[in-house]
Amino acid sequence: MTAMTADPIAPLSAAAKRVTARLVYGDTDDAIAAHLYLSVHGVRSQLQAARRHVGCPPGASRAVLVHALLTARHVDPPACQRPAPRLDENEQRLLHALTRHSRNAEIGAAINVSARDVRVEIDSLLAKTCADNPAHLMGLAHVWGLLDDTASASALSAAGQA
């Protein structure tokens, strides 16, 4: 009897990989389309394929998708030479909430703020990290090592206890 081995994770298609490689920099669908000489519809189609590939639901935010892609090592994180900013506990909790939640109500519940105040919290974190948007922030957080498994587990545990 032969031992069973786990199949390696199937790579993204070449087209999806090109599209998602731009997504980690926070590019919009229009910017990705222009950069890769694709239609916006083609970009959206490849992003949907990438969501399915990593098991993200169709409505998952771009930040959730970027985190899933980087965690599974389907794409490389963005290039970044600046050091990681020092995040306080609330900022860390928000960062981790953005890896799992797509809606402001869910993010707000995870960080103990109202859904209408979530955008202010996100904007503050984007300014502190010099990220263009939450998808770009996920890419930078991976570069900086702010989302390792131990940190993720403790931050999510703390968020659940609050």
* Identity of the residue numbered 134: P
Candidates 108, 20, 102; CA nearest to 59 is: 102
* Separation of first and last alpha carbons in the chain: 50
Instruction: Tell me which residue range forms the domain holding 57.
Output: 14-71
Would you state the pLDDT for residue 5?
Answer: 42
In a domain, 76, yes or no: no
Let me know whether 93 and 157 are in one domain.
yes
Beta-strand ranges (E) seen in 58-135 are: none
In a domain, 82, yes or no: no
Q: Global pTM?
A: 0.84
Let me know whether 111 and 141 are in one domain.
yes
- CATH of residue 55: 1.10.10
Least confident interval from 7-11, 87-91, 119-123 = 7-11
What average pLDDT does range 103-120 have in this prediction?
96
Let me know whether 20 and 59 are in one domain.
yes
Let me know whether 107 and 54 are in one domain.
no
> pLDDT of 46-103, one tens digit each?
999 999 999 999 899 999 999 999 999 999 999 999 999 999 999 999 999 999 999 9
Helical axes 40-54 vs 29-36, angle rounded to 10°:
110
CA 78 and chain centroid, separation: 12
Let me know whether 153 and 95 are in one domain.
yes
Would you state the pLDDT for residue 11?
Answer: 87
End residue of a domain, out of 71, 101, 116: 71
Let me know whether 67 and 96 are in one domain.
no
Let me know whether 101 and 51 are in one domain.
no
pLDDT band at 116 (very low <50, low <70, confident <90, very high): very high
Which 3 state secondary structure label does DSSP give 78? coil
> pLDDT of 124-143, one tens digit each?
999 999 999 999 999 999 99
Q: Are 49 and 13 in contact (CB under 8 A)?
A: yes
Number of domains in the chain: 2
